[in-house]
Amino acid sequence: MKKVVVSAPGKLHLSGEHAVVYGKPAVLVATSKRLYIEIKSQISNLKSQNGISKLKEKDDYLSKIIQLVEKKYKTEIKNCVIAINSDIPIGAGMGSSAALAVATTGALREWLGKPWNPTEINELAFEAEKIQHGNPSGGDNTVASFGGILWFRKEFEFLKSFWLLPFKIPKDFSQFVIINTGRSETTKDLVVGVVGEKKKQLGKKFTKWLDEVENTTKKIVQSIHDEKETGFKQSFQVNERLLEEIGVVSSSTKKLILEIEKTGGVAKISGAGGVKTGSGMVIAFHEKPQILIDMAKKYGYPSFQVQLGGEGVKREEVVV
């Protein structure tokens, strides 16, 4: 039986989210949490909910990705079943939608017998992300395609420059914990509705804000490169304050972050954020990570530890 399994990682933004939509650099990191797409031949008389024709009838992201691939390669995908398995939290700033777009386009291309090509997978996934998010920078799908720690900048709609940083987060930096504060808004709500509106209100001051974020992003990369934890923590905190200034951090998340800082740690939201309830994923660093785990528990938020710098899109299994 023909079978293809392709996976892609979830990501975290170390710095530069939102500013990256306006051409500033961002640093993204692939995590060890992954999403898997499995495509198998459909046994003809089995009416599965995962059957390709049933999936295409739905008005969800998966069906839009399938239709995009069919249009691109001028073909109809049939006689197969598709299953998704993922341990990436959904809609919380860990790039679950980009991982879905990358793993699905990768798996469908493989199913159609196209040569394995992460660059083409990335480009197609970016087209899908545009359908889903309106005005994405392309950072999420690029880190899901190439993995590692990525310096990313959208120069034009048709030209994105990115660089896989040839170093790692130093082992002697404090340990970090990811706290999921949840969120009610979509990425589009925050990018277009919140930051888009703020840009109109702020006028020239928005350019200043963008420059400050860029400066901070550069300092974060420099301090990882130089293995200077103090500089890293300071810039991380500045980055959080800039995100608060632009209006994408909720009051409950600000409270949590302030409490972390009072115990000697640092934390920032990662990704689009959130205002009405929580702000999605918070990356927190502390010499004593147990303090962070206990604090998350006190607030009623799930927390976990992940490895950073995971692999990009990957062929897990191909049986032809």
Residue entry with tokens 């739905």: 58
User: How is residue 171 annotated by DSSP?
Assistant: T
Contact flag: residue 243 with ligand PMV (CB under 6 A): no
List the one residue from 14, 17, 27, 99 that touches ligand PMV (CB under 6 A): 17
> What is the smallest separation between the CB atom of 309 and ligand PMV, expressed in angstroms?
17
Amino acid letter at 80? C
Strand, coil or helix: 30: strand
**Site membership for ligand PMV, residue 30 (CB under 6 A):** no
Phi, psi for 247 (deg, rounded to 5): 90, 25
**Residue 70 Cβ, how far from ligand PMV at the closest point, in Å?**
25
**Binding-site member from 4, 5, 8, 21 for ligand PMV (CB under 6 A):** 21
Regarding 140 and contact with ligand PMV (CB under 6 A), the answer is yes
Tell me the residue ranges of DSSP E strands in 143-278: 149-156, 159-164, 175-180, 266-270
Member of 35, 88, 191, 249 binding ligand PMV (CB under 6 A) = 191
Q: Which of 166, 176, 219, 205 is nearest to 25 (CA)?
A: 219
- List 77, 121, 224, 272, residue binding ligand PMV (CB under 6 A): 272
Nearest-CB residue to ligand PMV?
A: 271
Name the H helices within 31-74: 52-57, 61-72
- Shortest distance (Å) from residue 19 CB to ligand PMV: 8
From residue 87 to residue 126, what is the string marking binding to ligand PMV with x (rule CB under 6 A)? Answer: ------x-x-------------------------------
How many residues lie near ligand PMV (CB under 6 A)? Answer: 15
Q: 9: closest CA among 74, 86, 106, 123?
A: 86
Distance, in Å, from the CA atom of 245 to the CA atom of 302, rounded to the nearest integer, reads 26
Helix (H) or strand (E) holding 251: helix 251-262
Q: Contact positions toward ligand PMV, by CB under 6 A? A: 17-18, 20-21, 93, 95, 136-137, 139-140, 187, 191, 271-272, 280
